[in-house]
Amino acid sequence: MRRKIIAGNWKMNKTIVEAVALAAAIKREVGQIEHPVMVICPPFTALTEVSMALKDSEIQVGAQNMHQEDSGAFTGEVSAEMVLTSGCSYVILGHSERRTLFSETDQLVNAKTRKALTVGLTPIVCVGESLTQRQAGQMETVIEGQFNGLLDGLSAEEIRRIVIAYEPVWAIGTGQVATPEQAEEVHRFIRGLLARQYDEATASEITILYGGSVKGSNAAGLFAKENIDGALVGGASLKADEFVAIVKAMI
Ligand code: PEP
């Protein structure tokens, strides 16, 4: 059975003290639940403290980004090993904010994905079309193009170790969630791409998350769909009760 995952992307929010308090509040409610897998992704500065706060729980910690090189003169960057040794087991890569605000390309995200896999991190790799692209009927072409670039050269064994997040850009932070049908259509399309590039068995094992304005009130409808294996949650993951409600919608 595919791994179901609820991941929270805290973006550039929460000081260390605030992050530990939020992690502790989530742990109190759902800390011992093994399935779905919960992953919280605080800013780099809070990774170690949050990991320590969650040590005796089932909740995993992830970073929101990392650099593709091992070390060196890359001022302001953080390596995969640094992320790993801060207590992380996951890393979000290729988020649309990284692509639009920090000019990340599919090729760069591919390099980061490979590096994350070499140190044993599970990359959560994001794809998604903009509103203009969707309205122009280009959704499938855009997703397929990103998919080919992001996952270029990955073996079936490697692909089984990644998580894909479908995050339509028009739904991120807008309150305009995709309908379960809209999301399912794209998830099915992505699974089809995986089957074509690898094989049916591999495609059926890969967790595909939906992201974009997921809340406690709309999560269950999304999770009822066959190919939606959980969520990557932004805004609602900053409130313990909302995040917990999303987790409970999966149980
Ligand atoms: C995100 O940024 O990954 C995201 C899904 O944000 P939100 O849930 O706030 O739309």
When pLDDT is averaged across residues 176-185 and rounded to a whole number, the result is 97
**Residue 111 within a domain:** yes
Would you say residue 244 lies in a domain? no
pLDDT in tens, 74-104: 999 999 999 999 999 999 999 999 999 999 9
Write down the residue that tokens 């896999």 correspond to.
117
Q: Could you tell me if the CB of 42 is within 6 A of ligand 1? A: no
Report if residue 19 sits inside a domain: yes
Report yes or no on 167 lying in a domain: yes
Q: Give the residue among 130, 121, 144 at the shortest CA–CA distance from 212.
A: 130
- Residues 22 and 240: beta-carbon distance below 8 Å: yes
Q: Is 246 part of a structural domain of the chain?
A: no
Tokens of 207: 């967790």
Q: State if residue 232 touches ligand 1 by the CB under 6 angstroms criterion.
A: yes
When pLDDT is averaged across residues 151-168 and rounded to a whole number, the result is 96
Instruction: With respect to residue 251, please indicate whether it lies within any of the assigned structural domains.
Output: no
Residue 242 near ligand 1, beta carbon < 6 Å: no
Domain membership flag for residue 35: yes
Q: What is the CATH number of the domain that holds 136?
A: 3.20.20.70
Q: What is the pLDDT of residue 231?
A: 98
Q: Which of 104, 129, 167, 184 is catalytic?
A: 167
Calpha distance 128→93 (Å, rounded): 13
pLDDT beyond 90 at 109: yes
CA of 183 to the centre of ligand 1 (A): 14
Please give the residue range of the domain that contains residue 219.
5-239
Structure tokens at 44: 């780099």
**CB-side neighbour CA atoms (13 Å) of 150:** 30
Overall domain count for the chain:
1
Q: State the pLDDT confidence band at 1, using cuts at 50, 70 and 90.
A: confident
Report yes or no on 137 lying in a domain: yes
CA of 90 to the centre of ligand 1 (A): 17
Task: Give me the mean pLDDT over the 127-153 stretch.
Answer: 95
**Which pLDDT score is estimated for 225?**
98
